[in-house]
Amino acid sequence: MAAPELPQTDPEGIEGVRMTWNNWPRTKVEASKCVIPIAASIQPIRPHVDLHVLPYIPLRCKSCTSVLNPFCRVDFTALIWICPFCFQRNHFPQHYTSISQTNLPAELYPNFPSIEYTIPNYPQNPQNYNPAVPPSPIYLFILDTCMIEEELDFAKSALKRAIGVLPDNAMVGFISYGTQVQVHELGFSEMSKVYVFRGSKELSKDQVLEQFGLGSSGGRRAGIGVQKAGGQLSPADGTANLGINRFLLPASECEYTLNSLLDELGTDQWPVAPGNRALRCSGVALGVAAGLLGASTVGTGARIIALVGGPCTEGPGAIVSKDLSDPARSHKDLDKDAAPFFKKAIHFYEELGKQLVSQGHVLDVYASALDQVGIAEMKVAIERTGGLVVLAESFGHSVFKDSFKRIFEDGEQSLGLSFNGTLEINCSKDIKIQGILGPCTSLEKKGPAVANTVIGQGNTTAWKMCGLDKNTCLTVFFDVSSSEKSDSSGTNPVLYIQFLTSYQSSDGQTRLRVTTVTRQWVDSAVGTEDLVQGFDQEAAAVVMARLASYKMEMEEAFDATRWLDRNLIRLCSKFGDYRKDDPTSFTLNPCFSLFPQFMFNLRRSQFIQVFNNSPDETAYFRILLNREIISNATVMIQPSLISYSFNSLPAPALLDVSSIAADRILLLDSYFSVVIFHGMTIAQWRNMGYQNQPEHQAFAHLLQAPHDDAQLIIRDRFPVPRLVVCDQHGSQARFLLAKLNPSATYSNAHEMAAGSDVIFTDDVSLQVFIDHLQRLAVQAS
């Protein structure tokens, strides 16, 4: 049982960087021959036990602004350091005078390629800034009320719980919406007070501010007010209810108000005609929320947390008409350009995303509905701002409930939600940056390192991440632009890349994480050995998945399957050992051995085979694919399967239908769902209640084991995966079967042993796929 190779314990290490190629081809031509693009998956604020936090401001190179790092050459006598990127000589400032070979500052320790600085008053420095009290993050909750009573109750109780656990100083606002948007003024003591906006009218930020009475000059004042509230946070700070703090109050002050408000909040009162969908103006609600937050100071971290219960049918951002006989768009409609609302909605959310990014605010969407809610359209705004998204069937479902809880939790489980991240990349000469796939927005900061071709958020060396957390992961695509001459010189065998991530951590501090990595240049003309050794199969598979998804969205009529196949064949042709035209002679270096299987599973995955899913689901999967770390993303592509039986310890099993046995329990982790699958016999025993009999305690343990393991998986994951417990031949078993290699189908069912299972599909099995691959690879041109 050749189990998939488990990731090494900590492949990312303190750097948090994984690259498809750890040894880089030196020329563009060589690079393109490598088939798999040179890309790095970085986890900008990865927590690590060894990470040092330095309480001072970093030294920067005066020409390229890169930060002092272990790879700098330091002349201790002259107190000079040489920047490895631009070779600029920089003097150490006065307070570094005491450094010496034996007295290195932490940032020069070779063991610390990543180091973090705490920066007082990062982005601005208002005179009255009080470093003792960090600015409070803002949580603006948006609740859809076009739901059935039961769902609304679930959502409300989730909100109440969330508000209960927010830090006292967190600023909280609340907006509910249905046919209209209701912005609740929490700071009005007399009675519940609500600003109502019509759902059908798009409002610009200025209009919103003006209508809140926060316009122009008022807005400025309000901004200052907030800062004060943030900075000094004195609720009693009487500046009265003129500014935005009418709407945003510290959690400790408004919890009671909000709870009673939620108690009274009912479902939307606007009538829904029979045969129609409820009129729901999600777009305007988000627009108003963004506008409202616009009155707060730029630089104040803020999240818009939207709980959406259905499709937007009214106003900007509508995805479907209110007529129920009009179905929501499908992938087919999108392909045929038959989704009349799609483009307009996308445009709306693009603009909204831009606005939020410019304000530095995050949009999180929690969608719970049986129907689609428009995640596909909102994706752009969510992803650009680094927002979170959870798609569930119901607000009562654990996928939503537990995920939602996680956001606000502290401690071990915490997501480490941070705000206002900015990523800058410095890299050695000859390295160009094409762009980033992942939750960020290009800041359009031009520089010599900007490549001509763009992938994702490109044309820049700096990116904005309004929201980021411990797991946030970005994929940076590099290009090598080496001219022939630099090639010949061969002077410098190593390359450096430095990632500078500044952000506001969840505790309000402003941090700068500096990660400097180095890799080798290899001259592939000499041989591919070095290249091969530097290949990271998992990273490569994930990068290919992300790139394929991106191309599917961006390029019309892009045939992802063929594209993957072609690349796989080219890769095998290049790096395989074979005799021409002799498929049987084909062997692949172990460094590549898993890659074809990843590709096989990727081809069958929800990322490529979108037609089984709604556009919303696809968008959801892709958002997560793009923001999760490599190991998680790998699971999305190729789920892990563990088998439990009486005879052996739990062990990884082949992701193949042949792993199914009547006396086994299987645990499948496909990231979005975790499936516990009981073989027929096990299920029968369980149904007969043996586990409850003292003499069959072992059986009880066997039953329990996968559940425990599933909980371990679930506990660490966000969003919380759906847990499916099923039995062989049960209807829910499809969650497992869909992921297994169909080595046994109805066409060869007669060969199967009793107790095993078959999958009813015409898909090719892995074996067939590999056979073809070998044949094609060796015949290559």
Partner 1 sequence: MSITCRHVTRLYPICYTHLNAEQTSSSQAAAFDSIRFRLKPDRKTVGFLVTDWNLGIHSKQQSNNPRGGPRPPNAAPPGQQPPPFAGSRPRPPAPGVFQRGPAAPSGTPQTTLPPNVASTFTSPPSASQPPPSFTMRTPPPVALASSTGGPAVPPPPGAVPLTGPGARPRPFTSSPTSGLAMPPQMSTSGPVNNGPTAFSSWPTQGGPRFPPTMGGMQQPPIGPPQLPTSLSSGPSVQPPQMHPNFGNPPAGASPFTGQPVPPFSAPQQNIPPPPGSLPVSPPTQSMHHPSGSPYGMQTWPPQPGQVAPHPPIPGPMQQPRMYGMPPSPTPLPNQSMALSHTGQSKIDPNQIPRPIRSSSVIIHETRQGNQANPPPPATSDYIVKDTGNCSPRHMRCTINQIPCTVDVLSTSSMQLALLVQPLALPHPSEEPIQVVDFGESGPVRCSRCKGYINPFMKFIDQGRRFICNLCGFTDETPRDYHCNLGPDGRRRDADERPELCRGTVEFVATKEYMVREPMPAVFFFLVDVSMNAIQTGATAAACSAINQVIADLPEGPRTMVGIATFDSSIHFYNLKRALQQPLMLIVPDVQDVYTPLQSDIIVQLSECRQHLEVLLESIPTMFQNSRTTDSAFGAAIKAAFLAMKSSGGKLLVFQSVLPSIGIGSLSAREAEGRSNKSAGEKEAQKLLQAADKTLKTMAIEFAEYQVCVDLFLTTQTYVDIASISVVTRTTGGQVYYYYPFSALSDPAKLYNDLRWNVTRPQGFEAVMRVRCSQGIQVQEYFGNFCKRIPTDVDLPAEGSECAFQCALLYTTVYGQRRIRVSTLSLPCTTMLSNLFRSADLDTQFACVLRQVASEIPSAPLAQVREQATNVCINILHSYRKFCATASSSGQLILPEALKLLPLYTLALLKSSGLRADGRVDDRSFWINYVSPLSTPLAIPLVYPRMITIHDLDEKELDDSPIPPPVPLSSEDISDEGIYLLENGEDCLIFVGNSVSPDILQQFFGISSIEEIPNQFVLQQYDNPLSRKLNDVVNEIRRQRCSYLRLKLCRKGDSSGMTFFSYMVEDKTPSGLSYVEFLVHIHRQIQSKMA
Binding region for partner 1 (CB under 8 A): 179-180, 182, 185, 188, 190-198, 201, 203, 207, 211-213, 240, 260, 264, 269-271
| C-beta neighbour count of 59 within 10 angstroms | 19
Closest distance of CB 319 from partner 1, Å: 22
Closest CA to 655 of 751, 739, 536, 773: 739
| C-beta neighbour count of 191 within 10 angstroms | 6
- Using the minimum distance from each CB to partner 1, give the nearer residue, 146 or 328: 146
Contact 108, 514 (CB under 8 A): no
- Using the minimum distance from each CB to partner 1, give the nearer residue, 281 or 633: 281
Contact 395, 158 (CB under 8 A): yes
Q: Determine phi and psi for 748, rounding to 5 degrees.
A: -125, 25
- Using the minimum distance from each CB to partner 1, give the nearer residue, 260 or 711: 260
- Using the minimum distance from each CB to partner 1, give the nearer residue, 122 or 212: 212
Q: CA-CA distances (angstroms) from residue 51 to 47, 614, 650, 678, 694?
A: 7, 42, 34, 43, 49
Closest CA to 24 of 424, 572, 426, 429: 429
- Using the minimum distance from each CB to partner 1, give the nearer residue, 198 or 701: 198
Closest distance of CB 271 from partner 1, Å: 6
State both tokens at 174.
């609340």
- Using the minimum distance from each CB to partner 1, give the nearer residue, 78 or 196: 196
Inter-helix orientation angle 251-264/149-165, to 10°: 170
Closest distance of CB 154 from partner 1, Å: 21
- Using the minimum distance from each CB to partner 1, give the nearer residue, 215 or 652: 215
Q: CA-CA distances (angstroms) from residue 402 to 251, 369, 720?
A: 21, 16, 6
Closest distance of CB 190 from partner 1, Å: 5
- Using the minimum distance from each CB to partner 1, give the nearer residue, 180 or 297: 180
Closest distance of CB 352 from partner 1, Å: 19
- Using the minimum distance from each CB to partner 1, give the nearer residue, 112 or 177: 177
Strands 665-669, 673-678: pairing kind: antiparallel
Closest distance of CB 267 from partner 1, Å: 12
Closest distance of CB 188 from partner 1, Å: 8
b vs e for 144-178, b when ≥16 Cβ sit within 10 Å of the residue's Cβ? bbbbeeebbebbbebbeebbeebbebbbbbbbbbb
State both tokens at 179.
């046919």
Contact 757, 744 (CB under 8 A): yes
Closest distance of CB 381 from partner 1, Å: 23
The count of C-alpha atoms lying within 13 angstroms of the C-alpha of 151, restricted to the half-sphere facing its C-beta, is 21
Closest distance of CB 705 from partner 1, Å: 51
* Distance between CA atoms of residues 114 and 106, nearest Å: 10
- Using the minimum distance from each CB to partner 1, give the nearer residue, 212 or 607: 212
- Using the minimum distance from each CB to partner 1, give the nearer residue, 91 or 220: 220
Closest distance of CB 269 from partner 1, Å: 5
Closest distance of CB 211 from partner 1, Å: 3
Closest distance of CB 320 from partner 1, Å: 22
What residues have CB less than 8 Å from 522, skipping those under 6 apart?
Answer: 23, 24, 25, 26, 530, 531, 534
Closest CA to 245 of 204, 277, 212, 284: 212
- Using the minimum distance from each CB to partner 1, give the nearer residue, 210 or 326: 210
Closest distance of CB 183 from partner 1, Å: 8
Contact 26, 495 (CB under 8 A): no
Closest distance of CB 673 from partner 1, Å: 40
Reduced to 3 states, what is the DSSP secondary structure of residue 84? coil
- Using the minimum distance from each CB to partner 1, give the nearer residue, 209 or 733: 209
* CA angle, residues 372, 374, 379, in degrees to nearest 5: 130
Residue 245 is classified by DSSP as G
Residue with tokens 């020409």: 63
> Where is 442: in which H helix or E strand?
strand 441-442
Closest distance of CB 197 from partner 1, Å: 7
| Residue count of the chain | 781
- Using the minimum distance from each CB to partner 1, give the nearer residue, 12 or 268: 268
- Using the minimum distance from each CB to partner 1, give the nearer residue, 225 or 508: 225
Return the sign of the alpha-carbon dihedral for residues 651, 656, 657, 658.
negative
Closest distance of CB 203 from partner 1, Å: 8
- Using the minimum distance from each CB to partner 1, give the nearer residue, 264 or 556: 264
Residue 311 is classified by DSSP as -
Q: Determine phi and psi for 729, rounding to 5 degrees.
A: 70, 0
b vs e for 380-402, b when ≥16 Cβ sit within 10 Å of the residue's Cβ? bbbbbbbbbbbbbebbbbebbbb
Reduced to 3 states, what is the DSSP secondary structure of residue 485? helix
Contact 43, 692 (CB under 8 A): no
What residues have CB less than 8 Å from 80, skipping those under 6 apart?
Answer: 74, 89, 90, 91, 92
Torsion angle in degrees (nearest 10) through CA of 206, 207, 210, 214: -50
- Using the minimum distance from each CB to partner 1, give the nearer residue, 254 or 668: 254
Closest distance of CB 138 from partner 1, Å: 21
Closest CA to 473 of 634, 312, 588, 289: 634
- Using the minimum distance from each CB to partner 1, give the nearer residue, 161 or 201: 201
Closest distance of CB 202 from partner 1, Å: 11
